[in-house]
């Protein structure tokens, strides 16, 4: 396993649409391992491959570790997609490893049904609600070149983008 650099806005790679994973290969599993290590080190609860400059449809997530109880439940989602969403909405305060130290309330469907391939190559379907629903939608957005700030007001988004663009011009790196 190896730590990978997490790219930060305004890096244009974050706006790329990630390509489907054709085969669950040793290389894909290695990338997932690296992403878990990177996500835990950051620390975060979810990471899309594009955030480590790999434009493929792969997400890693661990919602159990967030509780700080020393337990982990690492999960990988290959080619994930939302196949159904509830009309009922939920609001969570979201943050992002590619937009450090910024948080905003985002409204998303409260429940979703997802389809994905696991690291063994098996296609799975699963219902998600609560934090899981929010996190999986957030990470799937990344695979489609969408950031959580795209779900907030234009004014707030413009302020955040300007802050990070100025920092990038001054060579400031967020860690």
- Strand 46-48 relative to strand 58-61: parallel, antiparallel, unpaired? antiparallel
Nearest CA to 4 out of 167, 44, 17, 16 is that of 44
Instruction: Verify whether residue 139 is a known catalytic residue.
Output: yes
d(CA 139, CA 57): 10
Question: What letter does residue 113 receive in the DSSP assignment?
Answer: E
Two structure tokens written together for 110: 């409260």
Selected catalytic residue, list 87, 94, 139, 165: 139
Helix (H) or strand (E) holding 155: helix 154-169
Tokens of 46: 């979810």
Sequence-distant (6+) residues with CB within 8 A of 44 are 97
**How crowded is residue 144: how many other Cβ atoms within 10 Å of its Cβ?**
14
Return the active site residues.
Answer: 139
């Amino acid at each position: 396993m190896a730590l990978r650099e997490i790219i930060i806005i305004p890096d244009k790679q974050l706006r790329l649409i990630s390509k489907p994973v054709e085969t669950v290969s040793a290389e894909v599993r290695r990338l997932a391992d690296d992403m878990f290590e990177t996500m835990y080190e950051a620390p975060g609860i979810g990471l899309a491959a594009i955030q480590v400059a790999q434009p493929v449809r792969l997400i890693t997530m661990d919602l159990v570790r967030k509780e700080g109880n020393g337990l982990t439940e690492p999960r990988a989602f290959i080619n994930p997609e939302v196949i159904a969403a509830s009309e009922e909405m939920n609001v969570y305060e979201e943050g992002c490893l590619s937009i450090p130290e910024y948080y905003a309330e985002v409204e998303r469907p409260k429940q979703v049904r997802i389809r994905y391939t696991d690291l063994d190559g098996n296609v799975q379907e699963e219902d998600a609600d609560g934090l899981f629903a929010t996190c999986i939608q957030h990470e799937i957005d990344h695979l489609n070149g969408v950031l959580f700030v795209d779900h907030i007001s234009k004014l707030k988004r413009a302020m955040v983008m300007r802050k990070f663009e100025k920092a990038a011009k001054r060579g400031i790196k967020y860690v």
